[in-house]
Amino acid sequence: MSKTIAILTSGGDSPGMNAAIRAATIVAIAKGHRVLGVRHGYRGLLDGKIAPLDAEGVNGILREGGTILHSARSRRFHERASRDQAREVLTQHGVDGLIVIGGNGSLTGLTLLSNQDEAGDWPVRCIGIPASIDNDIALTGLAIGVDTAMNTIVEACDRIGDTASAHGRTFIIEVMGRESGYLAMTSAIASGANMVLFPEATRTEEELVNSVVKTILTMRERHPENHRVLAIKAEGVPTPTDRLKELVDAKLGQATGEEHEDIETRVTVLGHVVRGGRPSAFDRLLGSRFGNVAVRALLDGEHRKMVAWLPPMDLPEGAGTRSVADPYCYLIDLPMMLAATKRLLEGQSPLARWRTTAFDDLEDVFLL
C-alpha cells in the first residue's frame, strides 16, 4: 500500500543534508510511495509549510551544501501544545512516516513528538537521521557534515599556516563545535597544528594561557627559523578567544621582556564558514546511506529510532539493531541515544572520559 513520508531538516544545517533528503525521496518514490517536504524545520511544520517532493525536485542537490528544505531552531516545539499541533498537521496531510534530519535539539524534538505518553495512538512512525558538524550525537560514529567541516577547517589551517610561517606568528584559530571538542581535536591532528584547546580538558583560564605561552616559547627554542604556531581552539572553551589572545600577550611580555616585540599573535574565528560548502564525497555517501536506511526502516515499521553509522563497537544492551538494508548502519533507540548523549556532553561517557586525557601525552609530539 502506498505510504506518505514527510522529511524535514532542523537545527544547524550541515553539508550532506541534501544527500539524505535526495536518497530518502528517490528510494521512497522508487518503491511507490509519496514524499512530502517540510520547509523551515519544526517551525514550518507548525505553519503547515509542506509540499510534495519528487525526483525532479531533488535532482542535482547531492552536491549542494545547506538544505533545500531550509532549517530553523524552534522554541515553540518545547511546548506540548505545539507538538499536539504538529501531530495534527501531519495527520491532516496523511503522513504515515516522518524523517527528521538534524542534531541533538532536533532529535530531542522528534523523541518528544513520538512519545506515546503524549502522542497516544498517533500512528505516524518516526525516524531520525543524525546531522551536526559538531559530531556531538552519541551512539553513532559520525553525523552528517562532520567530514566536510573537518576538510573546511584543515583547508583554512593550511592557508593560515602559510602566512603564520611567513611571519613566524602564532594563530589562535577558533572552530565551531558548540560544547564538543571533536572538530578541534581531529582537525588539529589533520592540519598538523601545534596545540589544541578543547572543553573536555576542563582547563582553568590560567592553565590555558600558560599552555599557549609554553607552546610558543618551546617552538621558538626548537625551530629558530620558523616560529609558526597554530593553536586550534574549540568555541566551547569558556575563555573568549580575543581574551585568550590578550592574556597570552600579557604573559609573553612578562616572560620575555623586550624580546616580546617579535612574538606576534593573531586570532582567526572560522565561525559559520565551517558549516558551508559542497559536501565531501564521504558526507554525500553517509547522507545517501542514512536516507536509504531511514526510508526502509519506516516501511519496515521501525519507530522512534535514529539511523547510526557504527564501526564495530559494543552497543549498550537493547540500544539498537543492525540495519537489514545496510550492514554499516544501525537503528538506535532514540530515548537511549538521548540519554547516552547527555552522559557524553556531561563528560560521563567512556568516550568523553577518554577525550579528557587523549591529548595529555601528545603535547610534545605536536611540537616536533
User: In whole angstroms, what is the distance from residue 88 CA to residue 99 CA?
Assistant: 16
Q: The cell 572538530 sits on which residue?
A: 183
* Residue 44 DSSP SS3: helix
Of the residues 49, 93, 178, 214, which one makes contact with ligand F6P according to CB under 6 A: 178
User: Which of 24/175 has CB closer to ligand F6P?
Assistant: 175
User: Which of 28/137 has CB closer to ligand F6P?
Assistant: 137
Residue 119 CB, shortest distance to ligand F6P, in Å, is 27
Interface of this chain with ligand F6P, residues 78 to 97, rule: CB under 6 A: none
121 carries an active-site annotation:
no
Closest residue to bound ligand F6P by CB: 12
Interface of this chain with ligand F6P, residues 253 to 312, rule: CB under 6 A: 275
* Residue 331 DSSP SS3: strand
Residue 13 CB, shortest distance to ligand F6P, in Å, is 8
Helices 17-30 and 281-299: angle between axes, nearest 10 degrees: 40
What is the helix (H) or strand (E) element at residue 112, kind and residue range?
Answer: helix 104-113
- The answer to the question of residue 177 lying near ligand F6P (CB under 6 A) is yes
CB 131 within 8 A of CB 103: yes
User: Which of 102/161 has CB closer to ligand F6P?
Assistant: 102
Contacts of 282 (CB under 8 A, 6+ apart): 147, 148
- The answer to the question of residue 134 lying near ligand F6P (CB under 6 A) is yes
User: Which of 73/223 has CB closer to ligand F6P?
Assistant: 73
Residue 247 CB, shortest distance to ligand F6P, in Å, is 23
Of the residues 37, 65, 97, 103, which one makes contact with ligand F6P according to CB under 6 A: 103
Of the residues 10, 108, 132, 241, which one makes contact with ligand F6P according to CB under 6 A: 132
Please count the helices (runs of H) and the strands (runs of E) in the chain.
12, 12
What is the edge-to-edge ordering of all strands in the sheet holding 50-52? 50-52, 34-38, 4-9, 97-102, 125-130, 305-309, 329-333, 320-322
User: In whole angstroms, what is the distance from residue 265 CA to residue 39 CA?
Assistant: 44
Interface of this chain with ligand F6P, residues 203 to 242, rule: CB under 6 A: 235
Selected range binding ligand F6P among 85-93, 129-137, 220-228, 347-355, rule: CB under 6 A: 129-137
User: Which residues contact ligand F6P (rule: CB under 6 A)?
Assistant: 12, 73, 103, 132-134, 176-178, 235, 275
List the catalytic residues.
Answer: 134
